[in-house]
């Protein structure tokens, strides 16, 4: 009788370890409105249709950040995203986090004029540090206009990105240590549209 009990105990421990290893993600976007986000100035750029959060430039091509009301230090966030950009710039967007700000790029970099999706933008001398670039992102992503699933983890001094379940980039820098709201970007001067759904997050 001891062996079955031991096997059962090990199974329970394994299940508990798996549960502990995977954070419980909760909805950040409710699919209905901008609850949980700071809405000042957002109406000209953000709307919700059919459970999808849509960000789009206004006629003046001004930029905007949709900031969360809550600040995050260590966290994991997952979301589905798709976008459409108008040549020559294409889409230039991303998710901004921590203090001082570091961003996970989505779409075309305005400074480099190439697609840097999944790469880390630091705004430093080397805007996209080579060690933090998602050099294989094109092979991991579906064509423009289709949904891609991104996962971002900020833990301690390390920032990691997965695209459609595959690790795409990792960057370590202790400078970006302060908790801050998360910001979904609409870049100024660009004619663009981006859409998000299934946005879920867990504080670590």
Over residues 191-200, the pLDDT tens digits come to: 889 999 999 9
Greater pLDDT, 184 or 57? 184
Measured between alpha carbons, how far is 136 from 26 in angstroms, rounded to an integer?
29
Residue 12 lies in a domain: no
Q: Which of 20-24, 98-102, 121-125 has the highest mean pLDDT?
A: 98-102
Residue 103 lies in a domain: yes
Q: Give me the percent of the chain exceeding a pLDDT of 70.
A: 89
Report pLDDT digits (tens) over 46-90: 999 999 999 998 888 888 999 999 999 999 999 999 998 776 677
Range of the domain at 116: 25-203
- Distances in Å between the Cα of 3 and the Cα atoms of 6, 12, 17, 154 are 5, 14, 21, 42
Residue 172 lies in a domain: yes
Min mean pLDDT across 19-23, 30-34, 158-162 is at: 19-23
Rounded to the nearest 5°, which phi and psi values hold at 108? -85, 130
CATH number of the domain that 105 lies in? 2.60.120.560
List of long-range contacts for 19-28, beta carbons under 8 Å, 24+ apart: 23/76, 23/202, 23/204, 24/202, 25/76, 25/77, 25/78, 25/200, 25/201, 25/202, 26/200, 26/201, 26/202, 27/199, 27/200, 28/68, 28/77, 28/199, 28/200, 28/201
Residue 58 lies in a domain: yes
Residue 15 lies in a domain: no
Residue 8 lies in a domain: no
Greater pLDDT, 22 or 3? 22
Tally the domains of the chain: 1
Residue 167 lies in a domain: yes
Residue 163 lies in a domain: yes
pLDDT tops 60 at residue 5: no
């Amino acid at each position: 009788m001891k062996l079955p009990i031991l096997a059962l105990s090990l199974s329970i421990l394994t299940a508990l370890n798996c549960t502990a290893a995977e954070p419980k993600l909760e909805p950040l976007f409710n699919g209905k409105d901008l609850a949980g986000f700071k809405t000042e100035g957002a109406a000209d750029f953000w709307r919700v249709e059919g459970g999808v959060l849509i960000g789009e430039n206004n006629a003046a091509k001004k930029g905007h950040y949709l900031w969360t009301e809550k600040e995050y230090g260590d966290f994991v966030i997952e979301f589905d995203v798709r976008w459409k950009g108008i040549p020559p710039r294409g889409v230039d967007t991303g998710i901004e986090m921590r203090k001082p700000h570091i961003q996970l790029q989505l779409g075309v970099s305005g400074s480099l004029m190439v697609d840097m999706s999944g790469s880390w933008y630091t705004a430093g001398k080397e805007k996209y540090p080579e060690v933090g670039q998602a050099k294989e992102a094109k092979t991991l992503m579906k064509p423009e206009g289709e949904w891609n699933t991104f996962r971002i983890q900020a833990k301690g001094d390390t920032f990691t990105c997965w695209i459609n379940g595959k690790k795409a980039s990792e960057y370590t820098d202790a400078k970006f240590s302060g908790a801050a709201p998360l910001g979904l970007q609409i870049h100024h001067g660009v004619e663009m549209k981006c859409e998000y759904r299934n946005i879920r997050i867990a504080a670590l």
